[in-house]
Amino acid sequence: MPKKLETSTAISAAVALVLWASAFAGIKAGLKGFGPGELALLRFGTASLVLAVFALVTRMRLPDLADIPKIGFASVLGITIYHLCLNFGETTVTAGAASLIIASGPIFTALLAMLFLKERLTAWGWAGIAVAFSGVALITLGEGTGGLAFQPAAMLVLVAAVSTAAYFVASKPLLRKYAPLEFTSYAIWLGTVPMLVFSPGLLSELPHAPLSATISVIYLGVFPGAIAYALYSGVLSKLPASIASSFLYVQPVTATIIAWVWIREVPSLVTLVGGALALVGVALVSTRGRLPVKS
């Protein structure tokens, strides 16, 4: 593992995180013209086309047949499940709250690493998990209509957080073999295929959608989609999955500011308190939560 973060890796991570932070407000803007599934298909159909043009120009190699099931598994987790759950969740959950729940992803990465990579958690790690989950629970309650009430859609965003954590873990071995842009292209192409079930709905919605919503979704496909995923695949290829995913906890502040500027959305006080707890928990797990793996 590198002892210090290279400048190029840090810049790639920062740009990708800002682009991803903008996606939460972008999804809200896109939902004004498209259903959640149709939005996902248009977004990643756009990303797929961008990457296909690049692949043709550069004569990108195709993946080995033996690796397609592994790439497909990662893509279903990180593209299909993540984005469908996030989009359906954001039909009622605010953009800021969704970003706070997604920021809990490193917690699930740590748990998955413990189960599958034999990493061990310290007492601080377990305390961080407890604090983070209490914060997520507060966010879930704070997003209820008319005060403290359970918001089922927030659970879909939580599923998205788990799926993106699993994506980081599943992608790491593949990025030892494939270049970041190659893997990103394969993952987005394969992850878009299940979304084709929403094609009839997209064809009927597209002619009637407001131009602003269509532009928002195309932006999501090109920037938080193709470009951000390619950049972060590069980060993931150079850092352990648990460290790469821990950067996600800085995302909510940017996402909340962008949502305020773009869609005039302000999270509730309970959501902000829950978000603060969640981020403290994630910080504990990321900085003091793991014991070294025995060789």
Using DSSP, state whether 173 is helix, strand or coil: helix
Span 72-119, pLDDT tens digits: 999 999 999 999 999 999 998 888 888 878 877 777 777 777 777 666
- State the pLDDT at residue 78: 94
Above 50 in pLDDT, residue 49? Answer: yes
Using 50, 70 and 90 to split pLDDT, how confident is the model at 253? confident
Domain ranges of the chain: 7-291
Span 242-252, pLDDT tens digits: 666 666 666 77
* Burial (CB count <10 Å: 0-12, 13-18, 19+), residue 52: middle
* β-pair partners for 290: 121
- State the pLDDT at residue 154: 83
Above 50 in pLDDT, residue 160? Answer: yes
Q: Average pLDDT for residues 136-162, to the nearest whole number?
A: 72
E strand or H helix at 44: helix 36-58
